[in-house]
Structure 1
Amino acid sequence: MPKLPTLFALLCCSLPLLVNAQKADYRKTENGISLTFRNAPGTIDQNLAIEFIRDSIVHIRSTPLNNSVKQSAQLSITDTLQSKSTPHAIEETGNTIHLKNKVLQLSISLLTGQIAFLNPNGDTILCEMPRNAQAFTPGVANGDVFYKIKQDFKISEDEGLYGLGQHQNGIMNYQGKQVTLLQYNTDVAVPMLLSTKNYGLLWNNYAITKVGDTRELLPLSGLALYAKDSQQGWLTASYVNKENEKEVFTTRAESDIDYNDLSDLYKFPQGIDLSKCLVRYEGHFSSPLTGKQRLHFKYAGYIKVWIDGKLLQDRWRESWNAGTFELEFATEANEKHAIQIDWKPEGAQSYLGINWQRPIPQAGRRIFGFDSEAGDGIDYYFIKGSNMDHVISGYRTLTGKAPVMPKWVFGYWQSRERYKTQAEILEVAKEFRRRRIPIDNLVLDWSYWPEKDWGGQNFDAARFPDATGMISQLHKDHFKLMISVWPKFNQEATTYSQFMEYGWLYRRNIADGRKDWIGKGYTSTFYDPFNAEARRGFWDLLNKKLYQKGVDAFWMDASEPDIHSNISVQERKDVFQPSIGSSTRYYNAFPLQNAKGIYEGQRAEDPNKRVFMLTRSGFSGQQRYAAATWSGDIASTWNDMKDQIAAGVNFSMSGLPYWTMDVGGFLVEKRYYQPQAADQEEWRELNSRWYQFGAFTPIFRAHGQFPFREPFNIAPEGHPAYNSMVYYIRLRYRLLPYLYSLACKTYHDDYSILRGLAMDFTGDTTTYNINDQFMLGPSLLVNPVTRKGANSRTLYLPTGTSWYNFYTGEQVQGGQQIDAPAPFERIPVFVKAGSILPLGPSLQYTDEKNDQATTLYVFEGGNGDFTLYEDDGLTYNYEKGGFNYIQIEYDDQTKTVTFSKRTGNYTAAPKSRMFNIVFVSKQRPSGIDSQAKPNTSVSYKGNSIKVKLTNN
């Protein structure tokens, strides 16, 4: 290994020269090596264990010597995981130990414990920074003794970094950013990082964690502030009448804008009714540091931000569910900039907080860290892949496969907040079928129970007199019913006493007497899914009251858990008291355990019916419990729609493949309740654009507060908005052969349906920061329109291939930015050259019997393949081989399509299938809107067939 000693010397060149330093003791273990560091001048005293799980997956664990901290429960990693690596070589060279197999090399300093991960050629992929005194800081909470954990890594400045769950700041690439992993309505914490250098880090920790640039965010007063009249030290805050800005209620100096939680509201001027105010902050600021400055905003209400007279943000969020965004801008040190912030609070209780993230110093630009509030040691998995999909496959090796979802999940879902009666939901179902708008799933949101019985899981008999009959009728009309279930129990609920007697409920919120917002307000709490008996009890309740009535799937709302939206994080931790340890240690794992109970309960009750659930939060490993996640209570705004793109794609790149959102947005501005004509048309345009986007996500689901969200309640038949929404719902059903085959690939090959551009075009660095485009599967480049009044949009076509307009078949070369047409009724979608895109017939629901041909669009310009998948769509027979594959390949040189012999054991598949092939080329453009005649038709009976294509 001639390169390695030199390499490690370079990696450690910033460390002091260690002459005659005491080296670590080490011993070989069955699948790795164990090292002990005592009195080593280059590091702290620690035990370091390195274990190969697979040739490409290594488990790293470091704990202090004489560690007495209780080991954390193992929740994310599968119970059945076993090490299955091939033998590896161990070699000592000077002060370094080298571990090597055919995929990966590790170099470990015997002086510092620092680990470098290298490819077989000796090139560095990633390197730890040495652990120092900050790695393990003793902590305690609620009687639980632990360490505050910190580990930094040395990265390349030119790599793209993704994953980490779902966050609402519009950021795609996390280079240089700070991300807080904290479960919250609209934010999902998943500690999995994915790099364009084809590695991943799974940080095996359940606590609230800062990732990336982990330095503390500073208050706004960290900047030099200047008032409106140029006095130094603050901004001028004017509280004026929002109906008459000439009327000033009060003016005062404010240097820290820190109104983040309910407990901060006392800081506002006394005697001021915020609901009547426009708060205007004016003045200047300067930074003592040159470089990229970032301002982190938390806000509720209306907010506009100008810097140097340029409007940079214009947003709205309802008061009870504050949103976030970041502003990034470069400045020179001590350079003054004008700032104005106009904030209109939404109600008497509203929130605004601003923090400053300093420029990263030169020495820190290659540092990427994890900083967790609690743990028993540094614990992470390094995963190497030949591409980013292989890395995600390694993540699922550790945390579990994503099951194939029921086929109906890939149809269209309709929801609203909320269907209040049995008659109402049945009437909506009837109207969909009358209008022949395809649909598979209706969703019954919260408060179907009697008001005080939240947690009883009983239907209110006055409004749902025959729930069983209602569900049966929906099934007869080919609808599935998903129902909202909260892990919450009112003190007056019929189930409360039993759950409390068994010790299954958190008690602090009851002791505090904190009331919710329903009716008169009820004291409530949440059950403890970390308690196995409580999980079984909760499932038994759902089974008896809902599943046995025919409910098809569960919507696991408030699974953060959302004890209360606007209390501080510390107050939330005080209320959330898991039975296995402190909330500080296990804060982010509640949704994982909640999903576990439902999945295991339903599979035990009904072993061969596929489980499906929708959760508002997620965590590493949750994909194995048949859980999809939606992006929470986002707002019905153009900004929020755009932010969903990066949020959903990064969630998928965290290894959890099933994501969705409230198409149309959940929270609605009051101007849309009884809209003026212009507002009415904007509402229709916004929803049209959102439906267009939603049709190309893994799960297509419309939902939100009033106004009602059904297409026919948004716009009348014949309106461009109605036409567009119905068009994309119908298109969704034509895409089913493509989508369902990708769902199979997600299970069998650990694929990801929703894909950042960097996954498929890693060599094209232009794609790394694009946050408003994505790939749906291998073929479709989707470009949502997120700007009011747009009839075109600028987009980037990745290099290395040509692209075809999905609707017209027009060919465009890749490697360029274009201005693509985006008329009201269409968003730009492009198909990669070499693609084979299967489109099915028009359907009204996913299991509708239809023997019409499947159309294969074959796009000239590259070799391509697609594997068409068949199974029964409902059972777990696919786990036992009950599925078929039809491999279809296209050779661009010979213009030949080859259908392989059908393989598999799904005997109920049609013995014969018709395929119409449409060959798309520059000479013969043809898109899905062009009504082109097929080049040829093929009767496929399960045997291999070759078809020659021409441009005639």
Structure 2
Amino acid sequence: MLLNSHPRLLACVGFGLLLASGAHAQQYQPTATGLRLNTDSLTVELQFYAPDIVRVLKFPKGHEVAKKSLAVVLTPAPGKLKYATRNGFISLSSASTEARLDAKTGQVSFFTAKGQPLVQEPARGSRFTAKTDLGQPTYRVQQLFQLAPGEAVYGLGQHQDGHLNYRGQKLTLKQGNMSIAVPVLHSSKGYGVFWDNYSTTKFEDNAQATTFDSEIGDCADYYVLNGGGTADGVVARYRSLTGQAPMFPRWTLGFWQSKERYKGQEELISVVKKYRSLGVPLDGIVQDWQYWGEDNDLWNSTEFGNPRFPKPQRMVDEVHQLHAHQIISVWPSFGKKTKLYQELAAKDMLFDFITWPRTPHVKVYDAFDPEARDIYWKYLNKNIFSLGMDGWWLDATEPDQLTPFDTDDDNETALGSFRRVRNAYPLMTTSGVAEHQRQTNPDKRVFILTRSAFAGQQRQGTMVWSGDVNSRWDVLAKQVPAALSLSLAGFPYWNSDIGGFFPSGEYPKGVKDPAFQELYTRWQQFAAFTPMMRSHGEFTPREIYQFGERGTWAFDSQEKYINLRYRLLPYLYSNMWQVTHNAGTLLRALPMDFPQDPKVADLSSEYLFGPAFLVRPVTEAQYVTRPDKNTPVPASFSQTKSTEVYLPAGASWVDFWTGQRQTGGQTVQRATPIDLMPLYVRAGSVLPLGPRQQYTGEKDGAPLEIRVYPGANGEFTLYEDENDNYNYKKGAYATITMRWNDKARQLTFGDRTGSFPGMQAARTFRVIVVDEQHGTGLGEDNAPAKEVKYSGKKTTVKL
């Protein structure tokens, strides 16, 4: 295959050169979206995709290249552009963004419409080193930027290094089990840069420059996202460019139980029944691998060949009858006896690198080939989706490679070498499943849990998890900045294995070790304030009843946070709508909301969960100490420990558990008994809470508790729809905006906007103003409340 002639790579379109400019006879031409310039050595194109989104393309002069982005979906609509030349520079301006191009060197600088600098290239900002790839000429491409002193930069995907601010850091952007490469740089100045390259890329920031250094590229290709000075603006521009995140089904927000692995359908069903008998809420159960059988030559057949799964249709049906949902593990690799392997091999659509399981040699399919994606879905649909399975666990979508040799990247894909496109593999394989499911059943929302991601993948209904992380306290601490970095790169949905995937090395006694129980309990508290609350791991069972009976500390703490999760469902689902409708962000690094507070610029131990909650996970052991890992000792609660919490400046904060109000801009020591994670609510928040329930939707007609946290004005928009279809895209949803006037102490429920089939025409709200006696913690029954009967019309209540 000739790489540069492949139709999927066509994009950098050439233009005739019309104007001469300057003594060096550099030439540029206005185009429909910007301009094209020839310097002595480079061709440069500026393309305005929107007034605040600008693409820069560069390639060596005389080497016309063609490339189509795999990530970008936006059709360019630049609006009115203004051209000017002065002192050897060409200025190209939209209503919000100015790009200045050095006519001699091709150096580009970006400014706001008011002339405030955003980001600029240094001299020789784009560098090309000739090389060959599968015998075809190409380049190693380096793109350099100059950042301002004190400017913080975030994003770049998910990495387990504990960093939030990547100034002064080095990072390899290469998909791996626990590393997610998303080359989106998010600046504290309110702009972003998306480096649109799919090969292994080294990022480095030092005193000289900030560099993206990619192994393969026919041109330098990046987008500047002018967020209008705000972090939310940067995320909104990224989503506009690469695709909006659709709504997940509401049931995905409940509690999920999983492990490696349920060895038969009766075991899986018994877990759901046990939760129901205990009265502990549960919405999801996950089936991991080997439902196809234990012969790895049958690896990932997608068929229920294991005799312990004799009636998969009955399994799915019984889970549904218990008011739960199920997803199932599927991989991109196949054993040689599977029908998938044989059909793909006959069409030369399998790679030959080593992946897990190593023996026998299973092979990964070419997800860059649309026909291969069709074949993959054919089997998923026939063997799994047709049963009524609710969603997908697409494991190892990096895909995982067990040998580090460069020859692995010599595998040829439909788009050239694997080396050229490797980081985009998770985007392509998840896209194939998502798009085919929508075609097969347009009414059921796509839900994909997956281990890796690339730019644009948020548009495919994917929930990313942090990989097979170890069960250690330092790893738990690193989950927070890992999640926030991915969120700042534009991905709204993330979670991690509660307790870590690998406890065996640290906790050989497993769930019977109080030390593991403490780690798991704290991890679960954190998980309750992430987009998906999911228990999973190998070696030791971790269903709630494995930790003891009700009345024991590990059981009771876990049940407390599962119940809290379910009470938060109206808040969570409404925030999911903000993600979809307004390019919102649920996991919010503190610099997003408090950019003027220098103390939060690199604070990686706390975050906001939606607009209301300040979350400070406990990430160190406090109550269990061990002389060694083989000697479990009981937990000691004789002395209550504490955790340091910084309350950001610019707001007042109310302790969720006590109602105590404190001013921002200070560090406090918060007592942290084993069942308490520090949670603070921003003053002015209007917080809707639902009833306790065993599964989402069980008590949709029950009154909602509306907690008001006084101290500032505020508002919240409650969102409701049919919960598991795409009718919301056609306008089938309803919103109620609640506004709190702090001075007047009035809460106003605005007119309901919209409607949907099955909507409750009348609602009951129980309104509570939170103080140190009322509306704290989980207690929903004892606080005095003002009852409001709401029929869809504007209603104001004085409190």
AA in 2 matched with 1:99: L
For 1:843 and 1:577, how far apart are their aligned partners in 2?
Answer: 52
Q: How does 1:247-258 map to 2 (within 5 A)?
A: none
For 1:37 and 1:921, how far apart are their aligned partners in 2?
Answer: 67
Q: State the partner residue of 1:326.
A: none
Among 30, 33, 47, which residue is 1:31 paired with? 33
Q: State the partner residue of 1:530.
A: 368
AA in 2 matched with 1:47: T
For 1:720 and 1:800, how far apart are their aligned partners in 2?
Answer: 37
CA shift at 1:100, angstroms? Answer: 2.2
Q: State the partner residue of 1:216.
A: none
Cα gap change, 1:713 to 1:810, in 2 (>3 Å): same
Among 117, 126, 133, which residue is 1:141 paired with? 133
**Residue 118, structure 1, aligned to residue 118, structure 2:** no
CA shift at 1:461, angstroms? Answer: 4.1
For 1:394 and 1:502, how far apart are their aligned partners in 2?
Answer: 40
For 1:891 and 1:561, how far apart are their aligned partners in 2?
Answer: 52
**Residue 559, structure 1, aligned to residue 551, structure 2:** no
Q: State the partner residue of 1:442.
A: 285
For 1:577 and 1:404, how far apart are their aligned partners in 2?
Answer: 35
**Residue 803, structure 1, aligned to residue 653, structure 2:** yes
For 1:474 and 1:921, how far apart are their aligned partners in 2?
Answer: 42
CA shift at 1:375, angstroms? Answer: 1.1
SS in 1 for 2:421: helix
CA shift at 1:670, angstroms? Answer: 4.1
**Residue 944, structure 1, aligned to residue 779, structure 2:** no
CA shift at 1:109, angstroms? Answer: 1.5
Contact 2:511 2:517 in 1 (8 A): no
Contact 1:810 1:925 in 2 (8 A): no
Among 500, 503, 508, which residue is 1:668 paired with? 503
Cα gap change, 1:942 to 1:569, in 2 (>3 Å): farther
The percentage of aligned residue pairs carrying the same residue is: 38
CA shift at 1:93, angstroms? Answer: 1.3
Contact 1:525 1:563 in 2 (8 A): no
CA shift at 1:23, angstroms? Answer: 5.4
For 2:706 and 2:460, how far apart are their aligned partners in 1?
Answer: 33
Q: State the partner residue of 1:378.
A: 220
Among 161, 181, 196, which residue is 2:188 paired with? 196
Q: State the partner residue of 1:332.
A: none
CA shift at 1:921, angstroms? Answer: 4.5
Please give the TM-score of this superposition, normalised by the length of structure 1: 0.78
SS in 2 for 1:33: strand
Q: State the partner residue of 1:54.
A: 50
Contact 1:413 1:700 in 2 (8 A): yes
CA shift at 1:21, angstroms? Answer: 6.0
Q: How does 1:86-485 map to 2 (within 5 A)?
A: 86-131=79-124, 135-213=127-205, 360=206, 363-364=207-208, 367-386=209-228, 387-450=230-293, 451=295, 452-485=297-330
**Residue 496, structure 1, aligned to residue 496, structure 2:** no
CA shift at 1:555, angstroms? Answer: 0.5
Contact 2:356 2:400 in 1 (8 A): no
CA shift at 1:905, angstroms? Answer: 3.2
| Unpaired stretches in structure 1, ≥5 consecutive residues | 1-19, 39-44, 214-359
**Residue 637, structure 1, aligned to residue 637, structure 2:** no
For 1:571 and 1:443, how far apart are their aligned partners in 2?
Answer: 36
What does the per-residue CA deviation read over 1:284-313, in whole Å, with 9 as the maximum and x for residues that have no partner?
A: xxxxxxxxxxxxxxxxxxxxxxxxxxxxxx
Contact 2:350 2:365 in 1 (8 A): yes
For 2:119 and 2:518, how far apart are their aligned partners in 1?
Answer: 46
Contact 1:808 1:930 in 2 (8 A): no
Count of residues in Structure 1 that have an aligned counterpart in Structure 2: 757
What does the per-residue CA deviation read over 1:795-848, in whole Å, with 9 as the maximum and x for residues that have no partner?
A: 211001110001111111100111111111110010001111111111111121
Among 500, 518, 527, which residue is 1:685 paired with? 518
Q: What is the alpha-carbon root mean square deviation over aligned residues? A: 1.7
Q: State the partner residue of 2:12.
A: none
For 1:35 and 1:533, how far apart are their aligned partners in 2?
Answer: 39
For 2:86 and 2:282, how far apart are their aligned partners in 1?
Answer: 65
CA shift at 1:569, angstroms? Answer: 4.9
What does the per-residue CA deviation read over 1:226-254, in whole Å, with 9 as the maximum and x for residues that have no partner?
A: xxxxxxxxxxxxxxxxxxxxxxxxxxxxx
For 1:72 and 1:714, how far apart are their aligned partners in 2?
Answer: 54
Among 612, 622, 647, which residue is 1:779 paired with? 612
CA shift at 1:175, angstroms? Answer: 0.9
For 1:749 and 1:676, how far apart are their aligned partners in 2?
Answer: 42
CA shift at 1:681, angstroms? Answer: 0.9
| Unpaired stretches in structure 2, ≥5 consecutive residues | 1-21, 624-640
Q: State the partner residue of 1:658.
A: 493
Contact 1:738 1:839 in 2 (8 A): yes
Cα gap change, 1:481 to 1:118, in 2 (>3 Å): same
SS in 2 for 1:918: strand
Q: State the partner residue of 2:583.
A: 750
Contact 2:356 2:401 in 1 (8 A): no
Please give the TM-score of this superposition, normalised by the length of structure 2: 0.92
Cα gap change, 1:497 to 1:941, in 2 (>3 Å): same
Contact 1:135 1:151 in 2 (8 A): yes
CA shift at 1:156, angstroms? Answer: 1.6
For 2:25 and 2:102, how far apart are their aligned partners in 1?
Answer: 9
Q: State the partner residue of 1:842.
A: 692
Q: State the partner residue of 1:594.
A: 429
Structure showing greater radius of gyration is 1
What does the per-residue CA deviation read over 1:705-750, in whole Å, with 9 as the maximum and x for residues that have no partner?
A: 1210111113332111110111101110100000000101111100
AA in 2 matched with 1:784: P
SS in 1 for 2:761: coil
Among 708, 712, 729, which residue is 2:541 paired with? 708
Q: State the partner residue of 1:928.
A: 777
Contact 1:21 1:111 in 2 (8 A): no
Among 761, 783, 789, which residue is 2:622 paired with? 789
CA shift at 1:928, angstroms? Answer: 2.2
For 1:933 and 1:786, how far apart are their aligned partners in 2?
Answer: 32
CA shift at 1:515, angstroms? Answer: 8.1
CA shift at 1:503, angstroms? Answer: 2.3
